[in-house]
Amino acid sequence: MADGRELVHFDDTEPWLSGGRVRDAVDHRPLPPAEETVRGGSQVRFDPLTGDWIAMASHRNDRTLMPPPDQDPLAPTVPGGFPTEIADSSYDVVAFENRFPSFSNRIGGQAGFLDGEELWPTRPAAGRCEVVCFTSDTHGSFATLDPHRARTVLEAWIDRTEAIGATEGVEQVFVFENRGAEIGVTLPHPHGQIYGYPYVTPKTRTMLRRAREHREATGRNLFRDVLDAERRAGHRVVLETEHFTAYVPAAARWPVEVHLAPHRDVPDLPALTDAERADLVGAYLDLLGRLDRYYPDEHPLPYIAGWFQAPVREGREEFRLHLQVFSVLRGPGKVKFLAGSESAMAAWINDTTPEKVAARLREVSR
């Protein structure tokens, strides 16, 4: 790219697929080097009260926010049109370094202590943040992709998980998608993101601690036991395929929340077999279609969908790949705002029951 960032194409149509044509577009935008965009703008600081690392990314305050359709930065660059992040006039699936990353190895700087106090360690927010565009079409979502394209996106996630996991300083790779204005999406173009964190995230650390405690108490894998228990109970199961089961967790936090887990113990997306990958495409498209039909008006459901993968180094024998997808929409036109007890104390209160949500998702099957 014009500022030195990396962009990777994943082609699944001709003439690109067979190599009949070579992508040779040039990004002519007058951008400053990527190092200048992020330098001094991102740092992680340690919170001694929780043990969490908090990223400070002031340069992200200038990122693009809901541009007009003719200035979509994720669309292809057409002759005479708005120059976008993708210099080609057409593409299938692309992944590229985020222009306004929370984490980047381009940041530079040294570890130290804020105000010279040992209570507050700091270090550069090293790592990697990428954008994955599912299609050059400016409309739609992952749910509207055909299975062929959805498989390409899955393979892009797998490729980038491996590449980012091998990046210096990255401890965990998180593949996710935010969809809908209610979630706070800044670009409506169908896309997702991948974060390479320089630490194991707080939620993962908690799950790993619980998994280790469960292993010590029972000798079994916690994630496996949860999946088996949900399948035995059955009434929160939404769908089952040969290799995957989707269920509403017994202690769901959100108005609509579903987990999708493989039947085989695998740590991450790259560990899936070809048969599991093919099955996952169908299961995930089925699940997203049901979520879009969850409310009677079939208003596309705003959601966050994230793939929880084992950290790069820590806890790989205990962690288990699974998807968590949830929505803040508690009814048509009604957004669940976190109440004081939830925001301040993380003491969750659900306005429905997992059993009702699962029953509705089974009802809207096609």
Catalytic residue check, 148:
no
Cβ distance 108 to 39 under 8 Å? yes
- DSSP-derived 3-state class of residue 201: coil
Q: Which one of 59, 189, 191, 259 is the catalytic residue?
A: 191
Q: Which element (helix H / strand E) includes 98?
A: none
AA letter at 38: V
Q: How far apart, in Å, are the Cα atoms of 326 and each of 11, 87, 167?
A: 30, 34, 29
Residues 6+ apart with CB under 8 A from 299: 332
* Cα separation, 67 vs 300, whole angstroms: 21
Task: Report the distance separating Cα 71 and Cα 190, nearest Å.
Answer: 15
Cβ contact 266:301 at 8 Å = no
Distance CA 324, CA 307 (A): 7
C-alpha–C-alpha distance, residues 249 and 358, integer Å: 9
234: left (phi over 0), alpha (psi -120 to 50) or beta: left
Catalytic residues: 191
